[in-house]
């Protein structure tokens, strides 16, 4: 009987989807509580197609940079941050960072720089403006997707400026968009447990709201697989959906699986999320976020083989070539740190989809449909 009742619940969600009705909190919970992962994947793929999705799967050629790992916040899930006094602490000057990026460009092409950092209390706001300005001058054709909303908030405390003034100044220097990190899980309870030093989630949302009002597109994330409940996951997705209703400024949603290695959670016995949970989160996100155009299967965290499977669970983007990734690898990710274009193309094709190289704003640069 339990199976029948469960089947009925998913059938109700399917009927709503087919009727074009929006899924609500209870629907989200029904989906999260389902252990029929294949049915969730099929529903998510249906939702994606009903909303105009095709076989196209996007990726970007990008370079990941982390200018400093010095951070004042001490999130409990983080294996990347250091205090200024620790031996592995580092901060690159703007000139060093630019030289590093230019040297990478000699080796491999990229159209985007993705940069996030620790919240370093030993630099001023001018450090960030100078960095963006110098990167932009050195590579005016490269889109600068830099600084999470949490870092933007940090800059307001460094400078005494408003969030809007900080964003305007960075945009004036060449900033193109914001990555989606720092969202974690919005629920106060979770935030207190995993990131007590981080700004209130309302500030994260407000920073994105302001960026969107200024015409700066952004991305959004959810870091899952630690202390959050299913209810808190759905609440998080609905808060993102609601902001997107208001502004339309999110380009993509990226679910991030928590990696416990080298964090306090490893000592408490936490394990990395199972692949089935990763697929479930991708599927439920696609189903609930009916207004965010793209959902990424972030191969850096889940590995390329599972990311390829996720393309049948509602994802339509595999992020990019990345070149260097350090944050999740500090926390034990064992995936490659660079996916060459030919490899991404092969994985996407093997999954039965059409690889499309895009720029940051999803303009098509090249497709492999032959
Ligand atoms: S997650 Fe970010 S803000 Fe938190 S400790 Fe790590 S670097 Fe700092």
CA–centroid distance, 195 to ligand 1, in Å, is 8
Residue that wins the pLDDT comparison between 332 and 242 = 242
Sequence-separated (6 or more) residues with CB below 8 Å from residue 261: 79, 272, 331, 332
In a domain, 4, yes or no: no
In a domain, 15, yes or no: no
Sequence-separated (6 or more) residues with CB below 8 Å from residue 191: 184, 185, 198, 200, 201
CA–centroid distance, 64 to ligand 1, in Å, is 16
The closest-lying atom of ligand 1 relative to the alpha carbon of residue 151 is 3
What is d(CA 175, CA 173) in angstroms, rounded to the nearest whole number? 6
pLDDT value at residue 320: 82
Query: How distant, in Å, are the alpha carbons of 56, 251, 304, 355, 356 from that of 284?
Result: 20, 18, 20, 23, 24
In this prediction, residue 213 has a pLDDT band, given cuts at 50, 70 and 90, of very high
In this prediction, residue 302 has a pLDDT band, given cuts at 50, 70 and 90, of confident
The closest-lying atom of ligand 1 relative to the alpha carbon of residue 69 is 7
Q: What percent of the chain has pLDDT over 70?
A: 92
How many angstroms from the chain centroid is the CA of residue 305? 19
Whether the pLDDT of residue 337 is over 60: the answer is: no
pLDDT value at residue 282: 97
* φ and ψ at residue 33, rounded to 5 degrees: -80, -10
Whether the pLDDT of residue 281 is over 70: the answer is: yes
Instruction: Read off the pLDDT of residues 175-208 as tens digits, 9 standing for 90 and up.
Output: 999 999 999 999 999 999 999 999 999 999 999 9
Contact call for residues 332 and 259 (beta carbons, < 8 A): yes
β-pair partners for 91? 68
CA–centroid distance, 150 to ligand 1, in Å, is 9
Handedness of CA 350, 352, 354, 359 (dihedral sign): negative
Instruction: Read off the pLDDT of residues 31-46 as tens digits, 9 standing for 90 and up.
Output: 999 999 999 999 999 9
**8-state DSSP, 176:** -
Degrees (nearest 5) of the Cα angle 149, 207, 298? 40
- What the block records as the tokens of 210 is 């302001």
Residue that wins the pLDDT comparison between 39 and 343 = 39
In a domain, 33, yes or no: no
In a domain, 7, yes or no: no
pLDDT value at residue 351: 94
CA–centroid distance, 121 to ligand 1, in Å, is 12
Instruction: Read off the pLDDT of residues 221-279 as tens digits, 9 standing for 90 and up.
Output: 999 999 999 999 999 999 999 999 999 999 999 999 988 777 777 777 767 677 899 99
E strand intervals along 162-300: 218-224, 250-257, 294-295
Q: What percent of the chain has pLDDT over 90?
A: 79
Closest-CA residue, ligand 1 atom 4, reads: 75
Q: Which mutation among 70, 75, 258 tests ligand 1's pocket best, with the greatest number of atoms within 8 A of CB?
A: 75
Q: Which mutation among 73, 91, 120, 155 tests ligand 1's pocket best, with the greatest number of atoms within 8 A of CB?
A: 73
What is d(CA 366, CA 101) in angstroms, rounded to the nearest whole number? 24
Instruction: Read off the pLDDT of residues 14-36 as tens digits, 9 standing for 90 and up.
Output: 999 999 999 999 999 999 999 99
Contact call for residues 213 and 175 (beta carbons, < 8 A): no
Ligand 1 binding site (Cβ under 6 Å of any ligand atom): 71, 73-75, 78, 80-81, 118-119, 150
In a domain, 230, yes or no: yes
pLDDT value at residue 327: 55
In a domain, 11, yes or no: no
How much is the average pLDDT of 319-331?
A: 65
Closest-CA residue, ligand 1 atom 3, reads: 73
In a domain, 28, yes or no: no
Domain that holds residue 167: 54-365
pLDDT value at residue 340: 81
What is d(CA 276, CA 280) in angstroms, rounded to the nearest whole number? 6
CA–centroid distance, 163 to ligand 1, in Å, is 19
CATH number of domain containing 107? 3.20.20.70
Split into its structural domains, the chain has a count of 1
CB neighbourhood size of 356 (10 A): 22
Contact call for residues 69 and 81 (beta carbons, < 8 A): yes
Contact call for residues 319 and 298 (beta carbons, < 8 A): yes
Instruction: Read off the pLDDT of residues 101-119 as tens digits, 9 standing for 90 and up.
Output: 999 888 888 999 999 999 9
Q: Which mutation among 69, 149, 150, 157 tests ligand 1's pocket best, with the greatest number of atoms within 8 A of CB?
A: 150
Whether the pLDDT of residue 333 is over 70: the answer is: no
pTM equals: 0.93
Instruction: Read off the pLDDT of residues 148-168 as tens digits, 9 standing for 90 and up.
Output: 999 999 999 999 999 999 999
Most confident of 141-145, 299-303, 341-345: 141-145
In a domain, 228, yes or no: yes
Sequence-separated (6 or more) residues with CB below 8 Å from residue 311: 57, 297, 318, 348, 351, 353
């Amino acid at each position: 009987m339990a199976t029948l009742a469960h089947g009925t619940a998913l059938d109700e969600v399917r009927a709503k989807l087919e009727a074009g009705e929006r899924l609500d909190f209870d629907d989200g919970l029904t989906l999260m509580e389902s252990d029929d992962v294949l049915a969730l994947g099929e529903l998510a793929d249906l939702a994606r197609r009903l909303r105009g999705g095709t076989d196209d799967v996007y990726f970007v050629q990008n370079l990941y940079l982390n200018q400093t790992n010095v951070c004042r916040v001490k999130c409990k899930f983080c294996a990347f941050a250091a205090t200024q006094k620790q031996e592995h602490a580092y901060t690159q000057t703007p000139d060093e960072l630019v030289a590093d990026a230019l040297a990478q460009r000699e080796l491999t092409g990229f159209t985007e720089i993705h940069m996030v950092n620790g919240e370093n209390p030993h630099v001023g706001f001018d450090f960030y403006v100078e960095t963006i300005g110098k990167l932009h001058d050195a590579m005016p054709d490269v889109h600068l997707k830099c600084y999470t909303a949490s870092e933007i908030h940090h800059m307001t405390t460094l400078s005494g400026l408003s969030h809007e003034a900080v964003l305007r100044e960075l945009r004036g220097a060449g900033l193109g968009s914001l990555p989606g990190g720092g969202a974690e899980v919005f629920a106060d309870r979770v935030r207190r447990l995993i990131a007590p030093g981080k700004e209130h989630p309302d500030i994260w949302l407000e920073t994105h709201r302001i960026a969107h009002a200024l015409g700066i597109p952004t991305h959004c994330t959810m870091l899952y697989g630690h202390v959050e409940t299913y209810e808190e996951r759905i609440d998080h997705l609905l808060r993102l959906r609601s902001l997107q209703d208001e502004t339309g400024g999110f380009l993509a949603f990226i679910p991030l699986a928590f990696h416990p290695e080298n964090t306090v959670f490893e000592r408490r016995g936490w394990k990395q999320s199972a692949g089935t949970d990763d697929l479930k989160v991708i599927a439920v996100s696609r189903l609930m976020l009916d207004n965010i155009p793209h959902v990424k299967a972030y191969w850096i965290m889940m590995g390329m083989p599972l990311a390829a499977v996720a393309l049948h669970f509602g994802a339509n983007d595999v992020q990019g070539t990345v070149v260097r990734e350090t944050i999740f690898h500090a926390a034990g990710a064992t995936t490659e740190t660079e996916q060459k274009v030919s490899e991404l193309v092969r994985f996407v094709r093997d999954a039965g989809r059409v690889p499309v190289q895009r720029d940051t704003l999803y303009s098509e640069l090249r497709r492999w449909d032959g």
